Structure 1
């Protein structure tokens, strides 16, 4: 006779996602704004540090793109972890921006390597194929960091689940992208200072979209 051991482990998350309404986009931005308002000073400080890092990388042009590809998943995961801390009413700290470097660096670096290789490959293609490739990269990367950090999905599975979820909600993300472009236009007007607010709001909206499309399944 086989005896069950308790507690019985929960089944592994399989990357299942759901289709949402276009109107949910506005809820994502509202939640992003609320996450920012919970600790605006810390969020703006993290954004400044992020901008300084990216500006510093730009000093060496040929190195900047490669380094940015590797760092993007790590820094994005740090922002998402910070969003979760706010959601849980935990104390938000500037160092949370680098939280993923300590706990999830291996898988996130693999995501960055994938991003880097695909971007390099895209430079060898024509204009239209490159645009399509960039779109697929964006869809694959969008939720990949969150799925790897929060759901422990392997990098390849996280990329697949992210792409599938975004394609399932293509119209929703088209609306999200258009609204984000408009917001970026206005954020850039006061010599870019608006990004100190918009950056954290967008990070919060990405976290909200992840919670809506995956956690609510």
Structure 2
């Protein structure tokens, strides 16, 4: 399964096309995302194991949502059953991805605790106050730990971004899928930077009015994952069977690129054809001369000569003649 490098602007197109996919069935998307959030909250209430179990099975939920995106693209409706569909098809490799992600998170947290020390751990987990003399040291450790967390979490997220889709759509083994996902994200690092910055800004705007905007943003994030997968791995935009894809922002971008490429190819073809014709005329008829009226190149032995001027046709010869002045 090969992946492609896309233009930087595609990072924004993924969000726009994802929003278009959400807009096709907004109520269904809100219901599916609300159900997933309710499952996450319920499982987090289970002591100790709840959050770990949800992290393990979260790729299965994501794969089900991606199946819903594909069904919508093929003209079928989205419903709550898509959320659990991957549990019936290929759950073990998806849970393996969740397990690798969970182990990575645990290792990162352990490393942060080791760097930050017990004082930072007590402050973050239990709200313990520290003396002013110790505050600078704790804050320095906190900054270092935060930077390390960010540096390690981004590669882990890159490896997990496309891997559920590669497993559910192409039956790729989980380890290989995570490797391909990581390198696909790495090759398209600039589009993902634009994508991430845009999502951060949209999240800030969505939270401001009492978080109402998250009702739209969360489904759009899910749909944008599917759009980015199609763009990078399949090298194609959304294609709806009901032929409504003409309004899609990404489809418009692809159409513009294809139109420009077609025009460029057509121009090059015409240039080559014109050069070939000139060469053919030159080789068969000898010297070329330029028509004084239309500047067309013609063979000298076929041109009409008049006062050291040449014309490609009798009509152009007559048109070029000066008109007689009327008597005064």
> Do 2:44 and 2:50's aligned partners in 1 also have CA atoms closer than 8 Å?
yes
Find out whether 1:178 has 2:197 as its counterpart.
yes
Counterpart for residue 4 of structure 1: none
Partner of 2:301: none
Normalising by structure 1, report the TM-score: 0.88
Aligned counterparts, 1:63-212, within 5 A: 63-126=49-112, 127=145, 128-212=147-231
C-alpha distance in 1 between matches for 2:209 and 2:217: 12
- 1:54-92 CA deviation, whole Å, 9 max, x = no partner? 111222463343123112201111111111111111122
User: What CA distance in whole angstroms lies between the structure 1 residues aligned with 2:92 and 2:206?
Assistant: 34
Q: Distance in 2 between matches of 1:42 and 1:61?
A: 31
Structure showing greater Rg:
2
Structure 1 stretch displaced more, 178-187 or 122-131: 122-131
1:125 alignment partner, SS class: helix
Q: Which runs of 5+ in 1 are unaligned?
A: 1-14
| Corresponding residue SS for 2:81 | helix
SS in structure 2 opposite 1:124? helix
Deviations 1:147-183 (A, max 9, x none): 1111111000000000000011111111111111111
Distance 1:191 1:70 in 2: 31
Contact 2:94/2:164 (8 A) holds in 1: yes
Q: Give the aligned CA root-mean-square deviation in angstroms.
A: 1.5
Given the alignment of the two structures, is residue 20 of structure 1 paired with residue 6 of structure 2, yes or no? Answer: yes
Give the 3-state SS of the residue equivalent to 1:94 in structure 2: coil
* 1:115 positional shift: 0.8
Alignment pair present for 1:35 and 2:54 = no
Higher relative contact order (CA 8 A, sep 6+): 1
* Number of equivalent positions: 203
2:32 paired residue number? 46
- 1:155 and 1:72 map into 2 onto residues whose CA distance is 14
User: What secondary structure does 1:212 align onto?
Assistant: helix
Q: TM-score, normalization: structure 2?
A: 0.59
Question: Which runs of 4 or more aligned residues in structure 1 lie more than 3 Å from their structure 2 counterparts after TM superposition?
Answer: none
Aligned counterpart, 1:7: none
